[in-house]
Structures are given as structure tokens and as C-alpha cells.
Structure 1
Amino acid sequence: MITELQLPSDRFNDTTYSGLKQKNFIYGKNGTGKSTITQTISDSFHDTHDVRIFQGFDSVAENSVLNAISLGKENASIQPQIDQVNLDISELESELIANESRPDNLYARCQAKEKEYKEQDKAIKDNFRSSASELKREHTNLTGVTYDIRNFKNDIESIEKSISCVSLSDTEKEQFQQLINQKEIKIDSKQSFPNIDISRFLKATNEIITTELAKSIILEFSTIEEQNWVRQGLNYHDKGDVCAFCNNPISEQRLDQLNHFFSDNVKKFETRLSHAIELLKIKKDELSKIKVIDPSQFYPVYHEQISVLNTSILELIRKYTNFLDFLIETLEQRKSDLFTTMSEISYKIPDSFESIHEQYGKIYVENKKYGQNLTIKKEEAKNKLRLNLVNIELSGMDYSQEISDLKDLAIEKKRLADELQINKNNLIALRKQKDDLISQTIDESIAAERINKALRSLGNHSFQLVLVSGEQKGQYTIKNIDGSTRDVDTLSTGEKNIVSFLWFLADLDNPSKKTENPQIIIFDDPMNSNDDTTQYLIISYLQDLINNLSETQQLFILTHNIHFYLNVRYDWWRKAHKTKLTLHLKKIDGKSKILPIETQDEDLKTSYDALWTELRWLYQQDKPDFMLNPIRRIFETFSKFNNISPSVLFKNDAEAKKLFDVNSHSIDDLEADLNGKTKEDIISKVSAIFRSNNAQSHFEKYWLVSNEE
């Protein structure tokens, strides 16, 4: 048994209360801390004691689906969860199926978006089909006779994957068309190009023109032309001949002198010069015979390269020819004056034919390979021309926008479908959750039998609980005494309260909940305002519990109901004071004070007595502001009991009427203009009113008794 409580300092003046007994009765108005005491006991002792708390009909809940009540604390606590799950299930189901009352639910939005997507997709495919048919009809050479929407869609994929632009210029279209019409070329063998090392020609020429010739004798010639003329004339004359030019005889001495002058070395040098000039002329002749590359041996795709290469060939031939002409001219100059040495010449050597040879060889190989792959190339040309036409068709149907719209619809369709699936999964989970909750419900048939037995004592107000068969346990319909079924929502608060109260008493003896721990039983305001027909039943059961409490049980009854308080405590003071405790809760300055009531004289008598007791306590606490409310209730009760109207009651004191008439204030109106009146002034005015209504003795009886207390 617990004997002490630690109470919160923000609610109570004294945070520790000692002296609790086996049977504890606590009276206090609403807001004085009764529920706080209940919660404190539960929080502090639930680990060491079997704490049972009754706070109204928390063990009864309505099951609107079954038109029944869920009986038992566990079932009643589960029922709101089941109700919520049922509500959630109903809400989801209303979103997941066709529902005329909700034409814009999730299911309908999904269906509408699916329809919109299909219509858009069909419109695009119809355009594809029409375009494919038109292309096959007008460009069969590019599409083939079996071209259809599947081929058209494949071409779209090719366009989308292409890294280059598929749109063709007129020139490109013409080239591809020519390629399609291109016949195979019979390619000749490779063309050769001269491999001439012209740098050695320059070197040889410089060697020749810088060679010095020694004259064996000195002969005088007036000019170089004369010298060359004489040298040439030696080839036509012998000794004794008459000169063909001057008709003079040529003496042997003169002939010998000329032969010495023009020695054998000179002749050899002259021969070398002539040979060099002749060789250069031969090379020049060879150059003139070099042919440009024949474009007809190449496919059109290489014609531009061949044209560039031919230009390079002609340019190189020109440079070579100029170079050789320069060398020939230089040698001719030396030849004209054999004995005059020339300086070395310089010249920028033209490139060799090697680069042209390599370029030509590469183009030749590619051209040959191109010819070998001509069939493939033609097919590629057809594809490019066809893709160009497909692209034109797509532009005409605003394909990009149509596909963009379709993708947007697909995204929204998927979002709604995903949301629908999530909700379906949630619905499955909720149904499982409902099954799990139902599986947690408890059979309350024994308690129901005891409740029905007690309810029969209500006579005409009686009703019975009838078990509803099904998976969910503890569900009971309500039957009237004539056997008719009542709608569960017609149960009054009082009827629910008595069923819950009776179940609570029955559950105290539930063997499945028995523990070795001492039991604390708490009734926190068990009587409510709707218990007019059942209050005697509750009072009698509580009196029975008080009288038959076992040694392992401790009882706490907390109430604000003065009638309930007085009736349950009938004979409370007669015996066994050691096991009983009475506490009154009073609120002052925002905190509650616990007042132990140790004798019957200190205890409350009636609700009217309680008002005088409260007035006396407020007077003692010097709280004139708070005294007005119980005074108003006292005058209200007095006037009703004695059939005196307020206008008569307060006829001699207008100020008193303003202060005390309940018709001038809310019954709970604690704020009033006292105009500086003290507690003595107020009580004096109360006494005067009773005196003016010939009830001075009535006032003295209650006020003096209250003050004696």
C-alpha cells in the first residue's frame, strides 16, 4: 500500500503528501488537481503495483460498421484505431475505383491520363503510317516496296542516334543520287611518277661552270665570238687547206698553234658541257611527257582530290622545267666562253614527286576499295537520302513538339500510376493492419455476462449486450428489454458510463490480468451528469467495493459531484477510521491545497452546505473577489427553494442585486467591481439581504455553523 505522494510544485502548495490509507476519498472542484493526482499515482507506481484507473467510458467504444460497441479497455482502445483504419480504407477505396460521386478521384485521373496518352500516341502513329505510305509510293527506289511504319520508326531512331545532321543540301542530294546511279569503274594499274634527284644537277652544273682551263699558248682573239668561231673552224680544216672563210692557205705552224690553244682537255671539257646540256634537255623532255591523273579512273567522290593533285603535278612540272632551263642556260653561257670561270649558282630546289606519289597512292587504294564497296556505298546513299526525306516529314508534322507532349503525358501517366500503385500497396497494408488489430481484440463474454446481470436491475431503463459473431472479438449490439436492437449511436453518455463502470469492476477480477503486485483502484470522477437513472447502481457497487476491499487492494475515489460524494460516503464515519482518509482540494492563488477532513463535523453535508463551507473558507483566506460566486449560488438556491423572485429578494439594495443576482452575471463570473469592499462588507450585505427577507435566522444558522467549523 502506498502512503505518500510526490506532487508537482506547479499545481500544489505542498509537493509531498503523507498519510494515505487503504480507502481514500478526495473531493475537489474541477481544476483542483484530481486528475493530476491520478496521473501521479499511475506514473509513480505502475512498475510496482497493479494500477487500475476508471475515468469514464474509456472501456466502451462505438463500432459504427457493426452497429455495436467494443467492450473492454483493450477492445475500446483498439476500436478507434480500427475505425480510423476503416476510414482510411474507405478513403483509399474511393480513390482507387470508379466512383460516380468522385468523378475526379485518382482512378479517374489515371484513366483520363491513360486515354489522353493513347490518343496522342495514336495521332503520332497515324502520322507515321501516312508518311511511310507516302514515301513508299513516291520514293520506292529509296524505301523498297515493303516500307511501312516499323521501317519509318527505325529511321527515326537512326536520325535521333545520328551524330551528324541528316538534312542534306541540294548539292549533297545530287551527289548521293549520282552515287546511286554510279556504275563500277574498271581501274587501270597505278600511274608512275619520275624519281629525279635534281639536287645533283645543280651540284654538277656548279662543278662544270667553276672548272678552270689552262691555255697552252697565248693567242690573241679580238672577241669570244671570234675565239669560238676559230675553235669551230678547226673541225673543218687540215694543214695546207685554204681557209673557208678568208681564202688564205693555212700553214702547218698556224694549225699547230691553234691545236695547242684548243688542247685535248678543252675538248674533253667541252664534251662534258655538251653532254650535261643534252642530259638536262632529255630530263626536260621526260618531264613534258608526264601525264596528269585521269579523273575517269576515279569515282566522283575523289574527283576534287584528283583535281587538286593534278594542279600540284602541273605546278611541279613547271618548277622542274624552269629549274632545268636555268641550268641549261647557265651551261650554255659557260660553253660560250670556255676559258672564263663562272661563280657557283644557287636555286631553291623544287620538291620531289615523292609527296605526289604518296597522295596518289593513297587515293588510288581508297578509290579501289570504294569500288569494291560500291554496293554498300550505294545503300548508304539511299539511307541518307531516305533519312533526309523522313526528317522533312517529321518537320511537317511538328514531330519534336508532338513527342515532347507525349513524353510529358508519359511522365504524368507514370506519376499517377505510381501514386495509384502506392495507394494500392497502402490499401493492402491497411487491410493487414486491420486484420492485425482485430486479432488483438479480446473475448469479454464473462464480463458481458456480469454486466447484463447488473443492467437488469435498471428495470424499464434496462438493456442487454448481445455478442456479435465474427473475427473481431468483444463486439456487442444493444438490445432493449423488448428484444429490439438499438442503434449504437443512441446510447447516452450515462449508459455508456454504466457499461464501462460495470466492465471495470468485472475486469478487476479478470484472472488473466492478475499479478503478484498490490492493486491500486482509482475512480476519477466516475459519476457524470447523465447518470440520473444509473447513479444508484454505481453508488451501491462502490459502497460494496469499499466494504469488501481485500488487504492487497487500495482504493482512491476522486469526485467533484457533491451529491455523489454524500451518498457514496453514507456511514463513512461510523467505523474503521484507521483505514479511511478524506481529503478536500481547495484552489488558491493558482495552486491547490490539500485539506484533510478528520471528523464528520468537518465534512460536507449537502451541496447547499458545501456552498456555505466554500464561502467560509474563502472568507478565512481573505478572498473577497472569489466570495461572490458561491454567494450568487446561495441566493439562487434560496430564492428557488422559497419561491422568491430576484426582484423581491434584492428590492431594498440595488447594489446587492448588481453584485449577487445570477441573472446579472454568468454563474462563474468571478470578476466584479467591489468598489473597495472588504470581506466583512460583503458578509454584512449578505446578512442584510436575508434580514430584509425575514430570514435572519437562516443566515445565522449557516454562517455561524460555517464559522464554527
Structure 2
Amino acid sequence: MTIKKINKIKGFGIFKDFRFATSIQEFKKYNLLYGWNYSGKTTLSRVFRSFETQEEHPDYAGAEFELEDDNRNKYKHSNLTMLPNVRVFNQDFIGKNLKWYADGEHIEPIFLLGEENVELQDQLDKKKEEVEKLKAANEALQKEYEQEEEQLRRVESNCAREIKQQLALPDYEVRNLRPILNSLEDTGAKLSDSACKSALSEWRSPGKLESIVSPQLPEIETNTLLEEVKAILAKAVSGKPIEKFKNDSRFEEWAQEGITLHEHEKECQFCGNQITQARRDELSGHFSENYKKLQDQIGVLRKRIEERKAAPNNLTADLHDKARFYQELQSEYETNRKALVEEGKKVIAFLGWLTEQLENKQTKTFEAVYITPPEQIEFEPKAKFDNISAVIDKHNQKTANFEQVKNEAKERLIKHYASDFLERENYKTKQEEIKTKKEKHADQLTQLTTLAGERAKIEAKLSDALKGATKVNDYIKQLFQHDGIRIEVTSENKFMLKRNGFSAGNLSEGEKTAISFAYFITCLEDRNTNLSDTIVFIDDPVSSLDSNHLFNIYAFIKSKLWNCAQLFISTHNLEFFNLLKDWMKDRCRGGVQENERSFYLVKRILKQGDFEATLEPLPDALERFKSEYHYLFSILKKFDDLQDANFDQLFQMPNITRRFLEAYLGFRIPNEPKPLNNLPKLIEDETERNKVDKFLNEYSHNESATRSLVFNDFSECREVVKSVLKAVEAKDKDHYNALCENC
């Protein structure tokens, strides 16, 4: 299958609205296209490359084009997958398949060949960058949490040292502390100041003390005694009281004692008078049996109260000295002992008050007495005593379980210090932060392992892809006709270019193009390409900056591409064009083969104020002659003959005129390196010469596709061209006529 024509190209660069004219010969097996720079040759190759890559050109999205093959099948921009067997060599191919690594302004001799390799290297570079970034982040994270761990270890050591010093534990270390820190959920194990002090006393106890016997609490019966006193005070003796005695208890006591002393006396031992029976009866009326009975009751109750007064003092005397207790219990014991002593004093004072009430009653036996008890009559000697007993029990329990209690105190203290440490250092939060960072660090290591695997796979693919270096070297040798320039695979799976064994830098454009072309030919020979079924398009393989390799590339094309399904070659280099033209003519000479080659001109024209590209049959002057000189003259002559202001190459006339004059003057007067300096020898009239010189200098120095020439008028261009042709005719009539005959 071969492509016969390009039905249309629309909106694709300089091809604004191209149609394949009927005057254009259909494409053959071998197709040669000639065109100056910016004429549209590369754009034409990009149409074909769109089918190769099966992608729109990024600069011309929305472009429309259509190819047609020898079976009238059409291949459109809307379905780029329909024409798979196309291979194109152009600047896009070079850009995709030859990646140079630059160092400043100098090109390093390190590069990659092959689109797949370039893509793989890009992937590898990105993967390396990703690895480096992740590795840096991973190392920074590790450093961060290690510093935090180190800080945490320091404060842990400080805490362990504090416990070691406070509790005098010579072997206590961080390894003993960490399990406790991890077991504590919060700061609940922290002790109050008093509890901490008590626990310290327990732990610091010098040795085991003797058990202590708890004293017995005597019966005091304050409430019972109060009720009994109230009952006696409420009694009143009936009889004949002596008013004197009733009003003065001293006399009553004196008289009562006197009765006892004078029981058997007849005379008063005080005054000596006779004690009459009447007096005795009067005294008996006062000191009756009920009186005596009440006095006896008062006496008995007073005795009981006096006996009870001794009980608190005896209990206080029975209390143990605080020195017998463990140090941590001494303060508690002493506090409760003092409280009990104070309670005993209150009891004694209350009992004394009861005694006073009874003493007062003894003088008021003939009347009922009612009393109001003191405000504070609630006594708690038992409660105070029980507190003391509790301290004694603690003491005895510690004595019975001395080592256990001491160790429990130690454990409480350790947990207290640990709990205080947790709160003070915000330990749990810091631990959790470190844990989170470690987990992230581990995840990053996993990612790095994964990335390393992915990187290894890419490197393996790249390494395999670079195995074609040997064949590329063979072709480079053929292109350069020596083996001074070679490529070697570096340890990083890149190509290094060497010239005579040394690193080769600053390659010429021709050398780079030749290397790219060698790789292109290598690709055409891979196992996935059948050259006899492949359409090949070669765009300008000879750099305008370096034509040293022109003949080698020409020979290479002849030997390697003659058997492809269809060949398109475009060039701006006339020498290269002529070599290919002759080869195609020779190869297709005679018989059926005569129709297997076609020659075309890719031309930029000015149409309705805008540049457009078009494809035309190759002008006869270019096909018949091997010099551009004849072609340039034919254009000038055609323009002069037509006298048409709409001449499609009007905008190029300054350049065409300049190039023609340079060629003519160059071979007619060869002693001047700048041929136009000999213009006065061709055009002697100064006015005419200045007009030509101005025309050339103003309009012929820029061939850029974006330039828009604006002439003062069409007549200026016409007059200049006519002046040049007349001058040549005048100076070289025979030569001029010969040129005209070939137009």
C-alpha cells in the first residue's frame, strides 16, 4: 500500500487550506520534495508523523488533513490509527528520541537515544527525584524523632535518678522505670503531700519495732451520772427545819457533827449549858431519817463521781510514748493522743461540775433543785480512743508485715514520682507523637522499598533498550566514514559520546543529526518493523549548519531505504537534492519503473495578504539542471514576462534577486569574497545601481515565516528585476540567451 495524494491540509501551520490540485502528479514509490527554509516541508512531514504517533500535533490541535492510498482508502485526522506503518524522521523525532544533558552553555556528550528510552529516563529521573525527596524527608523525620527520643531518654534518666536518690535505691535505672511509665494510664497514682510524706517515712523506717498493746477504755458514764445527780437534786426532805441551819449550811454542818459528838453528853461542850430534851427534839426534827438518807445518797454519788474522775487520768497515763511508733505514724498518734487527753480533761471538768451540784444540794435538802447542764456535754472519748487504737493497729500490722508494708510504700512512691513525671513532662503525648512519627517513618521506608523496586524495573528496561548501542555505533561509523566517534553506555544507562577515546562535547548540528539518523535507521530494523510494508518520510536530514556528512547520509539512504514501501524525502539543500534526484532517476530508469519516482516543489506563497504553503510539480529548471542558478533565473524571467502584481512569489523577489546576483557575480568575477561588491561592474549607471542596491538591502535579509514584506509599489520590484535582467543581457548576451532557452 502506498499514499497517492494529500487531499487536503487545513489549519496545520503554514498549510492554511491546501488542496491536492489535478496538476500535481500523484505520489510514487520514491518522492523527492525541494523547498527553501520556512516553505512548509517539516509541516508536511508532521502530517505523516501524526499517523505514526496516532496523536494530534500539540501546536495544531483541530487541524484537518486527509491522505488517500492507491486503493482510494482515505486516512483522516479524525482517525489517526488507520495508517500504522509510517515512520518519520524530522525535528520532532530528534526531539523525542535524542535527549542531551546540558551543563551550563556547553552540551555534554551524555545523551539518550530513542523515544522509549527518553521516556524511561524521564520516568527514572522523576523516580530518582521522588526517592531523593522521600529519602530526605525520611532521614529528617528519623532525625527528628530520634532527637525527641533522646530528649525523652534524658528526662526518663532524670526521673529514675530522682527515684534512686529519694528512695536510696542504688540499682534503680531507667529500665526499671519504663514498664511503670507504660503501665500508668494517667496521673491518678500521684500522692498528696501528706501521703507522700507518710509513705517516705514507711519506706525509710530504720528497722522493725515491737508490737504495742492497746490500753483499755474505762467506763465513765457521764450521761448516767448526770441523770442520777438530777434525780437527787430534785428530792426535798419533809420535816421541821431550823431556819438558821436552812439559811446557813455552815451552821447546819456544825450542828450535825455536834449531834454525833454529843450523843451521850448532857451538857454542850461548846457553851457548857444543859442540852434539853426539847433541844434534842428540835434538832431531830431538822436532822430526820429522810434527811440522813438523802445525805447518804449524795455522799455515795459523790464518791462514785470522784472514782470516775480518776479514769481519764489513768487512761492518759496508760497511753504509750510516740517514740514506740514507726516514724510515719508518730505524728498521727500524737495528734490523736492529745485529742484524747483534751477529751479526758473535759470529762473531769464535767464530773467536777456534778460534784459541785451535789455539794450545793447538801445544803438544800428541804427543797428540790433543778439544774441546766453545760452547753458542751457531748463527749467522745471512745471515738478518740478508737483513733488511737487504729494507729496502734497500723503499727502492729506493719510490724507483722514489715517487709511487705515497706515494699508497698516503695511501690506507691515510685508510682507517685512516675505519675508526677508523666504530668510534668507531658510524657504520654510525647510518646504518642514519637510513635506516630515512627509509623510514618516505617511507611516511608516501605514506600522507598517500593520505589526502589520500580526504579530497578525502569533501569532494567532502560538497560535492555540500550543494548542496541552496537548497531547504532556501526551506523555512526558508516555515516562518518571512520570510527573516531563512538557511543558508550554509562553506568547510569545513558549514552556517552566519545571522540577518539575522549569525551566529545559541543557537537555540531550535523553530528547530532547524523547520530539521530543512525538511531532512526536502527529503529527501522527492529523486529516490529517490516520495511517493505513501511512508508518512510525523511525531512531535511542534512543540517544547514553542517553539510560535511551530506554524501554519507545520501549513501546511507540509498543502501538502507531503497526497499521501503514508499519513500518521501524533503530537503532545502540543493546539492543533496540533486544527489537524490539522480539516484531516483537512475533507479527508476526505463520501463514500468519510470513511473516510480516523482519530484515536487514545496513553496511558500503570499495569498490575500497572508503566507500559505503549497505543493507544486518540480519546475523544469530544477529537474533538468543541477544548479539553483537556472531556477532563480527562470523565476525572474517569468516575473518580468508576466508583469503580474499578483505573482505568487512577489514577496520572495528580493531574496531571489539577491541569490541570483550572488551566483552570477560569483562565477563571472570570482576574485571578490562578497560577490555583490562587484555590482558596479554589472550595473554601471549609478542611479539604476542604487535602486537595485536599496531594493536588495531593505527586503532580502529576512526569510522568517512571520515576516510580511510591504513594497512601496509593484512597479519598484518590476523595475529592479528588469534592470538586473537587462544588465546581464548587456554584459553577457550569449549567456543570457542560453538561460532564456532553458526557461
TM-score band, normalised by shorter chain: 0.5 to 0.7
1:41 has 2:39 as partner: no
Within 5 Å, which residues of 2 pair with 1:382-531? 433-441=458-466, 455=478, 461=481, 489=504, 494=510, 501=517, 508=524, 512-514=528-530, 519-529=534-544
Give the Cα–Cα distance (whole angstroms) in 1 for the partners of residues 248 and 391 of structure 2: 55
Matched residue, 1:349: 377
SS in 1 for 2:542: coil
Letter of the structure 1 residue corresponding to residue 238 of structure 2 = K
Name the CA shift for 1:186/1:683 in 2 (closer, same or farther; >3 Å): same
- Counterparts of 1:158 and 1:444 in 2: how far apart (Å)? 64
8 A Cα contact 1:625 1:672, kept in partner: no
Deviations 1:567-595 (A, max 9, x none): 42347799866985736242659976342
1:73-104 deviation per Cα after TM superposition (whole angstroms, max 9, x unaligned): 76x96489689989999xx99xx9xxxxxxxx
Aligned to 2:696: 660
CA contact (8 A) 1:465 1:476 kept: no
Q: CA deviation at 1:313?
A: 2.4
Question: Residues 419 and 520 from structure 1, CA distance in 2 versus in 1: closer, same or farther, beyond 3 angstroms?
Answer: same
Residue of structure 2 in register with 1:559 after alignment = 571
Aligned to 2:209: 185
Letter paired with 2:298: L
| Aligned mate of 2:247, from 224, 229, 233 | 224
Change in 2 beyond 3 A, CA 1:12/1:613:
farther
State how far apart, in whole Å, the 1-side matches of 2:488 and 2:330 are.
Answer: 99
Distance 2:122 2:456 in 1: 12
User: What per-residue deviation string (whole Å, max 9, x for no partner) do you get for residues 465-505 of structure 1?
Assistant: 999999999999999xxxxx766849976567567657756
1:334/1:342 contact within 8 Å kept: yes
Of 719, 733, 738, the match for 1:684: 719
1:333 aligned residue: 360
Confirm or deny: 8 A CA contact 2:212 2:396 kept in the other structure. no
SS at match of 2:394: helix
Classify the secondary structure of the residue corresponding to 2:213. coil
Q: Retained in 2: the 8 A contact 1:625–1:671? A: no
SS state at 1:189 partner: coil
1:135 corresponds to which residue? none
Q: Which residue of 1 aligns with 2:307?
A: 282
Residue 321 of structure 2: aligned partner: 294
Q: Would you say the 8 A contact 1:27–1:559 is kept in 2?
A: yes
Q: Check conservation: 1:11, 1:592, Cα contact below 8 A.
A: no
Write the distance in 2 (CA, Å) between the matches of 1:659 and 1:201: 150
Q: Which has the higher contact order (CA 8 A, sep 6+)?
A: 1
Give the TM-score taking structure 1 as reference length. 0.62
Alpha-carbon contact 2:472-2:519 (below 8 Å) kept: yes
How many residue pairs get aligned? The number is 606
1:611–1:200 Cα change, 3 Å: farther
The Cα shift of 1:321 comes to 1.6
Q: Is the 8 A contact 1:9 1:15 kept in 2?
A: yes
Deviation, 1:284, is 1.0
CA distance in 2, matches of 1:6, 1:370: 110
Cα distance, 1:437 vs structure 2: 2.6
User: What is the distance in 2 between the residues matched to 1:78 and 1:623?
Assistant: 44
Contact 1:628 1:660 in 2 (8 A): yes
Structure 1 vs Structure 2: percent identity of aligned residues?
16
Give the root-mean-square deviation of aligned CA atoms.
6.7
- 1:118-133 pair list within 5 angstroms: none
Please show how residues 64-75 of structure 1 align to structure 2 within 5 Å.
none
Correspondence for 1:272: 297
1:569 aligns with 2:581: yes
2:604 alignment partner AA: K
Output the CA distance in 2 between the equivalents of 1:294 and 1:324.
Answer: 27
* In structure 2, C-alpha distance between the alignment counterparts of 1:695 and 1:203, rounded to whole Å: 169
Q: Matched residues in 2 for 1:656 and 1:343: separation?
A: 157
- Unaligned 5+ runs, structure 2: 55-76, 102-108, 191-196, 412-424, 426-439, 681-685
SS of aligned partner of 1:620: coil
- Is the alpha carbon distance of 1:594 and 1:254 closer, same or farther for their aligned partners in structure 2, counting shifts above 3 Å? same
Counterpart in 2 of 1:101? none
SS in 2 for 1:569: helix
Match of 2:679 in 1: 649
Distance 1:21 1:439, change over 3 A: same
Q: Describe how 1:528-677 pairs up with structure 2 within 5 A.
A: 528-529=543-544, 532=547, 534-536=549-551, 538-539=553-554, 553-570=565-582, 580=598, 582=600, 584-586=602-604, 593-598=612-617, 600-601=619-620, 606-608=627-629, 620=646, 628-643=654-669, 646-649=676-679, 652=687, 654=690, 657=693, 660-661=696-697, 677=712
* Counterpart among 341, 348, 354 of residue 321 in structure 1: 348
* CA-to-aligned-CA distance 1:357-382 (integer Å, 9 cap, x gap): 23222322333344466678999999
Equivalent residues of 1:639, 1:646 under 8 A apart: yes
1:54 partnered with 2:76: no
Q: Deviations over 1:651-675 (max 9, x none)?
A: 655565455249x996658999999
CA deviations on 1:625-651 (whole Å, 9 max, x unpaired) are 775444444444444333365455266
TM-score normalized with structure 2 length: 0.59
**Larger mean Cα displacement after TM superposition, 573-582 or 303-312:** 573-582
Instruction: Rate the CA distance shift 1:466–1:325 in 2: closer, same or farther, 3 A.
Output: closer
Matched, 1:206 2:230: yes
Q: Matches of residues 356-395 of structure 1 in structure 2 within 5 Å?
A: 356-371=384-399
- The one-letter code matched in structure 1 to 2:222 is I
What is aligned with 1:404?
none
Q: How far is 1:565 from its partner?
A: 3.3
Shift of 1:294: 1.0
Unaligned runs of at least 5 residues, structure 1: 97-108, 133-138, 166-171, 384-399, 401-414, 480-484
Q: Report if aligned partners of 1:632, 1:667 keep a CA contact under 8 Å in 2.
A: no
Q: Contact 1:6–1:16 at 8 Å: present in 2 too?
A: yes
Contact 2:487 2:495 in 1 (8 A): yes
Q: Distance in 1 between matches of 2:708 and 2:536?
A: 46
Distance in 1 of aligned mates of 2:309 and 2:87? 129
